[in-house]
Chain A
Amino acid sequence: MKAIKTTAAVAILAVAGVAALGWAAGTDRAALAKKQETLNAEYGLAKEAKFYFVFDVLGRKIELRVRGMVLRTWPIESMRFWGKPDFTGAVELVKKTTLKAPERIVIKPGETETPAPAPAATTPAPAANPAEFQLEALELKDMPTRFGLDLDNGLHISIRARTGGSPGMASRLRDAWRWYIALPLRDLTASRRSQGFSELELVFADGKDPQSIYWHLFDGIKGIIL
């Protein structure tokens, strides 16, 4: 009787072991397929001398790359999502959207009584720190900390910095309404109409990261979402 029990236990363990091995092999083969797919997509972008981005959702980071080299990494502090999660693969940034886009300074010599000084010839007023000079230029600090990215696969990515101070009540209410009421209802409506709807919100700990992303990701840049 004891021998039968031992045999049964060994058999069960063997079956479980084989099943586990099979599952692991299946996972490895799925990972291999994913790796091949990703490398294929990236090689297609990297063989051209153009910048592209890689958005690693599970790795929580966005990278700017060229020729397979990572030029810049932006770590994502937190993210949340509404809609269909089938947005991975090769994408293109259609446009950046923001309430107040940074505008270039236009100099028209002779149109004003005192012509605007040229940026190269500007002699700024003495200041303790060169970073404090107010220049006639479009700089990183002029980029928005809150904006959207519309991708060609229908995914809309909202990007913002974690606010340093506490946001106002109106802003909180607007965000809460949008995230907890408007977007779920939009998702339901889109689903009923068999339309794709995907909205992703990314929050960055460093306030300069969204500005840097706005600077470096230009309309038309291609990328991969992993």
Chain B
Amino acid sequence: MIKRLLIAAAALAYLGFLAVLGASYFLGLKQASVWPPPAKAVPEKDVPKVEKNVQQLERRMTALQPRGLYIVIDTAENRLTLMNGDKPVRTAVVSCGSGVVLEEPGGKKRSWVFDTPRGEFTVKSKITNPYWVKPDWAFIEEGEKIPKAMEDRIEAGTLGDYALGFGQGYFIHGTLYTRLLGRNVTHGCVRVGDDDLKYLYKAVPIGAKIYIY
């Protein structure tokens, strides 16, 4: 008797569950039937006005896009593309930021995140035979004492033959570690191979836009 009651209770529970699940599927189908949601049509009399507005918006959108040469950098793929309008002019394999966090030991407890900054930038400077003025983190990372004299921070040859500055101490520059091009290894700057760097330096004017994503 108890066994039968238990079986009946289980069957009832199962049927109840199926009924609830069925209701869920019914609701799901009902919701799906209104996809895609219908757009409200523009009243006949407003059509010319809306068409004019759409054209104006399209013109505004076009005006937002950069003119002439600009640089696009994909930090995930480590690819730099020099664009002219919507046409790619040259593509280069580069190295972007490693994403590593460096924490300063001792009392100061400063920290640095080695990311390549993302966003819209402009080429602010173009330098030949650039010197690297080593910031504090470069010494901390090597476990060295931070020098007081500026001349002790200057290092030649590390950044290649050219550098394009885009603000806040970030540059597109050359590298000695060419076999690491294509990997995320830098402290935030964008490293480019010699030939590509020379091409970029000659082609890209100061003021050109840089989009890093």
Contact A187 B105 (CB under 8 A): no
CB-CB nearest in chain B for A25 = B44
CA distance A121 to B187 in the complex (A): 10
B156 interface residue (CB < 8 Å to A): no
**Also in contact, A109 and B140, with CB within 8 A (given A29-B44, A32-B42):** yes
Residues on A lying within 8 angstroms of B by beta carbon are 25-27, 29-37, 39-40, 42-43, 46-47, 49-51, 57-58, 64, 66-69, 71-72, 81-86, 88, 104-111, 115, 118-122, 124, 130-131, 133, 135-140, 181, 184-185, 187-188, 191, 211-212, 215-216
CB-CB nearest in chain A for B179 = A130
CA distance A75 to B77 in the complex (A): 17
Contact A191 B27 (CB under 8 A): yes
CA distance A131 to B20 in the complex (A): 52
Min C-beta distance of A36 to chain B, whole Å: 5
Contact A88 B44 (CB under 8 A): no
Note all chain A residues with C-beta closer than 8 A to B75: 215
Min C-beta distance of A58 to chain B, whole Å: 6
B142 interface residue (CB < 8 Å to A): yes
Contact B105 A34 (CB under 8 A): no
Instruction: From the candidates A30, A36, A71, A115, name the one contacting B57 in the complex (CB within 8 A).
Output: A36
Min C-beta distance of A28 to chain B, whole Å: 8
CB-CB nearest in chain A for B43 = A29
CB-CB nearest in chain B for A108 = B103
Contact B50 A36 (CB under 8 A): yes
Contact A104 B113 (CB under 8 A): yes
Contact B182 A106 (CB under 8 A): no
CA distance A108 to B213 in the complex (A): 28
Shortest beta-carbon contacts, A-B, top 9: A138-B99, A184-B24, A137-B98, A49-B120, A29-B41, A39-B57, A119-B98, A188-B24, A34-B39
**Also in contact, A137 and B57, with CB within 8 A (given A66-B211, A109-B141):** no
Min C-beta distance of B158 to chain A, whole Å: 9
Q: Of residues 66 to 124 in B, which have CB atoms within 8 Å of A's CB atoms?
A: 66, 72, 74-77, 86, 98-103, 105-106, 113-114, 118-120
CA distance A36 to B77 in the complex (A): 35
